[in-house]
Structure 1
């Protein structure tokens, strides 16, 4: 596969979700007999090595379903909303990935991808990760159906999303710790169901790395401002205290000089009187 095979595509960087879409097309082609195992493994390796759309496109050029389409220029730098507004992340349409399988292996759905209305996943002696923190949503509710047999699936949701757990565990379980948090107005709803046998489905709520970095920077800036203000207050208080001490010192010094002159004027005659009495 060379870049010459796809001269019309831009050299834009592809995302993990783009590579997963191509991998799904390859898996379907393998199941349908369009690819043999050797071809599948070769193309899958090229998929995960690809860095641009130009490199991804030729991998599925002879298959009936397009594996990757470059995004419109307007959406290339679209960031997930961090201000509590969810309108820009519920985009409609179809999801970019609707299923995943891990058999003695693993899968990931993370980064910029569109979560579908229903996502099915299966883990057998393997594990999977579904990260919705930077995802867009095809609808206001996503149902994630997990089957974990001697395996596990980890689901990460952003703050503000309502989580409902309906899965059943036999010698396994579904995590219910995040079900108590209410959802924000307009936020999507994540419903987790399925079956776990000697396996588990974990759910955790995390902010994006960018949001955590920004919070850390804000805390550092607040601490610097507090230290600076404290030093200014201490400097002003110290200067006021110094002026008060100098005033007291001047007052005591003046009082001490008066006492010294008074004692000096009366001390000499009394000494002379004592000496004369002694001589008498």
Structure 2
């Protein structure tokens, strides 16, 4: 339950609640809970205010294994991810030639911080992020064209932080926030 704040009396965020709901649903799908137990625990999670209340709702569920880094690679051609895909905590994207398009706006984002490492030769990258995401691109080096990112005027709190790092040769990074 590493996604939860440290102290049991700490108030939880909506992201903490959403992550706990997902964990209870996964526990049911994996056969660790009966339907009635799932209903009870979902009620606990949805009415919880503190970490301690969430911990009791998630008790007896096995710890979710830590996700490793996922690498998507292509020598040439396009790399494209969109729709309802599960985004790992750390995503490495490697391409010698070709464009990259990552749409995170409808993706399943379970982590409050995502690290995306780009290793691109030629070809640009476009990343579409959720409307409430905070994007950091300071860790990205570009050799030919500068990255294009303009943060939105208004954002809602609670979105994921997306840190983009790595190196790009002869392409440009474009980051857009979803409009809905």
Above 0.5 in TM-score? Answer: yes
2:124–2:170: 8 Å Cα contact kept in structure 1? no
Aligned partner (choices 168, 177, 182) of residue 141 of structure 2: 168
Q: Which residue of 2 aligns with 1:112?
A: 84
Residues 114-263 of structure 1 aligned to structure 2 (within 5 Å): 114-166=86-138, 167-178=140-151, 181=153, 183-207=155-179, 211=180
How far is the alpha carbon of 1:102 from its aligned partner? Answer: 2.7
SS of 1:88's partner is: helix
SS of 2:149's partner is: coil
How far is the alpha carbon of 1:163 from its aligned partner? Answer: 0.9
SS of 1:173's partner is: coil
1:161–1:182: 8 Å Cα contact kept in structure 2? no
> How many positions carry a matched residue from both structures?
123
SS of 1:184's partner is: coil
Q: Compare CA radii of gyration and give the structure with the larger one.
A: 1
Query: What TM-score, normalized to structure 1?
Result: 0.39
1:100–1:120: 8 Å Cα contact kept in structure 2? yes
Distance 1:144 1:182, change over 3 A: farther
1:148–1:197: 8 Å Cα contact kept in structure 2? yes
How far is the alpha carbon of 1:174 from its aligned partner? Answer: 2.1
In the alignment, the residues of structure 1 paired with residue 19 and residue 127 of structure 2 have an alpha-carbon distance, to the nearest angstrom, of 18
In the alignment, the residues of structure 1 paired with residue 127 and residue 161 of structure 2 have an alpha-carbon distance, to the nearest angstrom, of 13
Distance 1:173 1:122, change over 3 A: farther
Aligned partner (choices 69, 72, 76) of residue 100 of structure 1: 72
Structure with greater helix share of residues? 1
Q: Does 2:18 align with 1:88?
A: yes
How far is the alpha carbon of 1:134 from its aligned partner? Answer: 0.7
Runs of at least 5 residues in structure 2 that lack an aligned partner in the other structure: 1-13, 24-63
2:69–2:89: 8 Å Cα contact kept in structure 1? no
Structure with greater strand share of residues? 2
Q: Which residue of 1 aligns with 2:50?
A: none
In the alignment, the residues of structure 2 paired with residue 186 and residue 206 of structure 1 have an alpha-carbon distance, to the nearest angstrom, of 15
Query: What TM-score, normalized to structure 2?
Result: 0.59
1:152–1:200: 8 Å Cα contact kept in structure 2? yes
